[in-house]
Amino acid sequence: MFFPHKEIHALLSNIKIVLVETTHPGNIGAVARAMKNMKMHNLWLVSPKIFPSADATSRASGADDILARASVCRYLQEAIADCQLIIGASARCRTISWPELTPRECAEKVMISEPGNNVAIVFGRENSGLKNHELDLCRYLLRIPCNSEYSSLNLAAAVQVVCYELFIASGLQEQASIGDKGETPLATAAQMESFYTHLYRALTDIGFMHPDKSNSIMRRLRRIYNRVQLDTKELDILRGILRMSQGEGRKRKH
Amino acid sequence: MFFPHKEIHALLSNIKIVLVETTHPGNIGAVARAMKNMKMHNLWLVSPKIFPSADATSRASGADDILARASVCRYLQEAIADCQLIIGASARCRTISWPELTPRECAEKVMISEPGNNVAIVFGRENSGLKNHELDLCRYLLRIPCNSEYSSLNLAAAVQVVCYELFIASGLQEQASIGDKGETPLATAAQMESFYTHLYRALTDIGFMHPDKSNSIMRRLRRIYNRVQLDTKELDILRGILRMSQGEGRKRKH
């Protein structure tokens, strides 16, 4: 599902990333960078241990505008007060079974929620995550699939994965990446046939072709060059090579 | 459909994460952690600026076994020598249009490659990424979709996203898609290098190579043959053709 540019931006703008009692300011900076990479900018900090901090700014590495605009508050309730959809990240297995989402499912949920809705995705402390009374405020629990024997992602790495899925889901992938307009056209089937004829002649000229094996050799070569899907410039180069090998061959015979 | 535990592990075991000339040892540690979170452990370091390092160990945060087992080498060629599928990460737009993959497409490609194949995913320097001569060794370029106005992910964040997609894909991959064992093995990077050396010599022998254009011609030819992913039987045929064109050339001169 692809949204027009303006709406996508609005969509990602409605999502808050909320960090609860982060201990290391470097992690806050790294989270800001991860968010900005994925076109998100709404950062809330609930009782951070140290903020602002030079460590945070340094790790933000150009995303310090996110830090400068970050909202700091004392309790999670304040950060999520205006939100309709609240999702809490957790690495731990909980005894109470909560409705769980993977990052991909979380991104889908967010994208299909009402356009005007505010969304909060809440990440807990580096060592102990979110407490049960904080999860009580969340509608879903977000769990990143990972190695069950080593399951604790770095805070910023977890935010990166979640924001990446949100960005993908928002469909904001720039069309530019699909390839520039000036690209060389692919060779047509007729051009390829003419190449294979040329190839056959050149291989005969250099003495590579034995009449009894030529069919199976040509079949194998076709398999290679059909697979690669040559563009016309590449075809020109290969035909240039064939001409040179033949040209010399012809001189040889005379 | 999920693989039994052992097979998934084997699948992810065949994937190397290769870091080229990493400047900050902390990033190496964070990469180790990101890998272990996603059940990957095969880390290669090409000319790291500082390694081992207390910074790396501290940021690895329990993934120091990955660091202890990391292979360090001088050139990218050594790290990928036994690999059949080489994918290079890049944030920059390149002038030559390279076949590009998103992390999700990359994970799919890796999962459908032959079970015994070795895969390398190569990440460049923090500031400048991979150089063109390094990308020449890669079959695909991996690009993480992101904010076009702020596109440089932290190294470990990029590795985290890619390993996350690999982990997800390894769990989703259907067993049926695995090819039969009787198939011809794909050429390794070392075999391809030896082919390119042979190709260069043959093109020089037939008079195709002009010293001032040879670099750009070789780059284009590499692009073609890296793209096609030759198996060893196909490589034999192509080298047979090169030998014939050279052999005749040599006779001519005497």
Q: Does A37 touch chain B (CB under 8 A)?
A: yes
Could you give the ipTM of this predicted complex?
0.76
Which CATH number is B60's domain given? 3.40.1280.10
Of A32-46, A211-225, A231-245, give the lowest mean pLDDT range: A211-225
Helix (H) or strand (E) holding B122, with range, is strand B119-123
Mean pLDDT of chain B: 86
Q: Does A141 touch chain B (CB under 8 A)?
A: no
Q: Which residues of A touch B64 (CB under 8 A)?
A: none
Residue A11 maps to a domain: yes
One domain, residues B211 and B155 = no
The pLDDT value given to residue B92: 66
Range of the domain at A74: 5-177
Residue B71 maps to a domain: yes
Instruction: Give dist(CA B200, CA B214) in Å, integer.
Output: 8
Residues B197-223, mean pLDDT to the nearest whole number: 89
User: Max alpha carbon distance in chain B (Å)?
Assistant: 67
One domain, residues A144 and A200 = no
Q: Which residue of A has its CA nearest to B253?
A: A252
Of the candidates A196, A242, A253, A238, the residue with the CA atom closest to the CA atom of residue B206 = A242
| pLDDT for B112 beyond 80 | yes
Domain termination site, one of A129, A147, A177: A177
Give the one of B63, B153, B164 whose C-beta lies nearest to A150's C-beta.
B63
One domain, residues B212 and B87 = no
What pLDDT, in 10s, does the model give residues A48-102? Answer: 999 999 999 999 999 999 999 999 999 999 999 998 899 999 876 665 667 889 9
Residue B234 maps to a domain: yes
Token pair, residue B169, equals 């894909």
The band of A3, judged by pLDDT with boundaries at 50, 70 and 90, is very low
Residue A50 maps to a domain: yes
One domain, residues B135 and B55 = yes
The band of B246, judged by pLDDT with boundaries at 50, 70 and 90, is confident
Token pair, residue A212, equals 């009894």
One domain, residues B50 and B111 = yes
Of A77-91, A238-252, B204-218, B235-249, give the lowest mean pLDDT range: A238-252
Of the candidates A16, A45, A249, the residue with the CA atom closest to the CA atom of residue B245 = A249
One domain, residues A100 and A34 = yes
Residues A176-187, mean pLDDT to the nearest whole number: 54
In chain B, the percentage of residues whose pLDDT exceeds 70 is 86
Report B:192-211 residues touching A (Cβ under 8 A): 203, 206-208
Residue B184 maps to a domain: no
Residues A213-219, mean pLDDT to the nearest whole number: 86
Residues B163-168, mean pLDDT to the nearest whole number: 96
| pLDDT for A181 beyond 60 | no
Domain termination site, one of B177, B206, B235: B177
The pLDDT value given to residue A63: 97
Residue B175 DSSP class: G
| pLDDT for A178 beyond 50 | no
The pLDDT value given to residue A30: 98
Mean pLDDT of chain A: 86
Q: What 3-state class would DSSP assign to B72?
A: strand
A49 or A224, which is more confident: A49
Are the beta carbons of A244 and B208 separated by less than 8 Å? yes
The band of B101, judged by pLDDT with boundaries at 50, 70 and 90, is very high
Which CATH number is B223's domain given? 1.10.8.590
One domain, residues A135 and A32 = yes
The band of A173, judged by pLDDT with boundaries at 50, 70 and 90, is very low
The pLDDT value given to residue A190: 82
Instruction: Give dist(CA B169, CA B153) in Å, integer.
Output: 22
Q: Are B223 and B96 in contact (CB under 8 A)?
A: yes
Of the candidates A137, A140, A143, the residue with the CA atom closest to the CA atom of residue A98 = A140
| pLDDT for B161 beyond 90 | yes
Q: Tokens 């989402």 — which residue?
A: A101
The pLDDT value given to residue A187: 82
One domain, residues A218 and A245 = yes
Q: Are B100 and B140 in contact (CB under 8 A)?
A: yes
One domain, residues A137 and A233 = no
In whole angstroms, what separates CA A17 from the centre of its chain? Answer: 19
Give the one of B224, B227, B241 whose C-beta lies nearest to A203's C-beta.
B241
Of the candidates A89, A97, A72, A94, the residue with the CA atom closest to the CA atom of residue A166 = A89
One domain, residues A171 and A204 = no
Residues A247-253, mean pLDDT to the nearest whole number: 51
Residues A15-37, mean pLDDT to the nearest whole number: 97
Domain termination site, one of B155, B177, B199: B177
Residue B182 maps to a domain: no
One domain, residues A206 and A165 = no
Instruction: Give dist(CA A179, CA B26) in Å, integer.
Output: 35
A88 phi and psi, to 5 degrees? Answer: -110, 125
Residue A26 maps to a domain: yes
Token pair, residue B112, equals 């459908």
Count of other CB atoms within 10 angstroms of residue B253: 6
Q: Which residue of B has its CA nearest to A203?
A: B241
Q: Which residues of B touch A172 (CB under 8 A)?
A: 145
Q: Are A15 and A166 in contact (CB under 8 A)?
A: yes
Residues A230-236, mean pLDDT to the nearest whole number: 90
One domain, residues B161 and B248 = no
| pLDDT for A177 beyond 50 | no
How many independent structural domains does chain B possess? 2
Token pair, residue A82, equals 């205006």
Residue A183 maps to a domain: no
Give the one of B97, B233, B237 whose C-beta lies nearest to A179's C-beta.
B97
Residues A144-150, mean pLDDT to the nearest whole number: 92
